[in-house]
Amino acid sequence: MLKFRILEQHLTPLSAVDDASVGLRVLESAFMSKIENLNGASGSVGVISKVLRILEALQGSSSGLGLKAICDQTGINKSTAHRFLKHLERERYLLRTEAGAYLIGPRLSQLSARGNQEATLQAVARPILWELWKSTHETVNLGVLDQGTVLYLDVMESPHEFRLSSRVGTRRSVHVTALGKALVAFLPKETRQAILDSISFQAATPKTIGNLVQFRQELERICQQGYAVDDEEAVQGARCVSAPILNSNGAPVAAVSVSGPVTRVTPSLVNALAGAVTSAARAISAAMGFSQPESKPNLKRTKKLVLARN
């Protein structure tokens, strides 16, 4: 659950996501022209076979695989595997984490019917979330809509002793959190209605939105300004600002937020934080390979986003 607490900084990795299958015919068609350049047209069939073995090994691992593990699982020699991996990484079909593990990348996730998109999202978002964390010194969250609730995929806790804290894997109702409101506001009409019909509007604090009429008004405001605010609605004494990560069709795939105590995240700083989270959300969207719509909100920028440290 969300709460204030005093503890050592702790970043929990994303829990394993379900394995997913990749359509081999789709991949073969997508890679044929690229692979022929690696080894010549005459050897393209053998090359494709090896590349698909690598992709199948990676698709079966939610946390990614290093070069040695890939070679062990596929039987491909190290130099050949390394050559293929570097090419696929350069073309953004694969993603290499800071730890050196390879994951299915954003370009390949879009070709796949069911890629490990949450793992890819977290890996792509992590460096951008880190920059947001450094600029604000408050807790940064990454969440998705799952089974009608907000699911926290990644959390970077504030370095302050007094801070807002949540755990990876936590679920919260969409109407009490800035993450949830940002996600629901930009859903297609039919999908949004299904979510709205499922909300019980239980109050977490005296400021929690209490009915559907109020929530619809809030969602309309979020659509107009491009970001959402939780003003002590989930936890008393806490304020949170969130923006959606949109795909090429303008639908949300996730949301990013910054949260902290109201003594530091003051009303006067909301606009600056909205600009920061919106920029981060757009950067993540671009890194995932989604085309970017024109900028909507006209948000004020401050020279320095780092909040009060007392």
Span 159-168, pLDDT tens digits:
777 767 778 8
Span 266-288, pLDDT tens digits:
999 999 999 999 999 999 999 88
pLDDT, average across residues 127-145: 94
Alpha-carbon span 46 to 308, nearest angstrom? 59
Span 209-234, pLDDT tens digits:
999 999 999 999 999 999 999 999 99
Q: What per-residue confidence (pLDDT) applies to 244?
A: 97
Alpha-carbon span 194 to 180, nearest angstrom? 14
Please answer whether residues 93 and 289 qualify as being in contact, where contact means their C-beta atoms are separated by less than 8 angstroms: no
154 band by pLDDT with thresholds 50, 70 and 90: very high
Span 74-102, pLDDT tens digits:
999 999 999 999 999 988 889 998 889 99
Q: What per-residue confidence (pLDDT) applies to 190?
A: 86
Q: What per-residue confidence (pLDDT) applies to 63?
A: 81
253 band by pLDDT with thresholds 50, 70 and 90: very high
Span 107-120, pLDDT tens digits:
777 665 444 677 78
Task: Kindly tell me if the per-residue pLDDT of 298 is higher than 70.
Answer: no
Q: At what angle do helices 78-90 and 44-59 cross, to 10 degrees?
A: 80
- Does pTM top 0.75 for this prediction? no
Q: Could you give the domains of the chain?
A: 3-14+117-287 (3.30.450.40), 24-111 (1.10.10.10)
Q: What per-residue confidence (pLDDT) applies to 76?
A: 94
Alpha-carbon span 174 to 194, nearest angstrom? 13
Of 45, 88, 304, whose CA–CA distance to 96 is shortest?
88
Q: What per-residue confidence (pLDDT) applies to 216?
A: 96
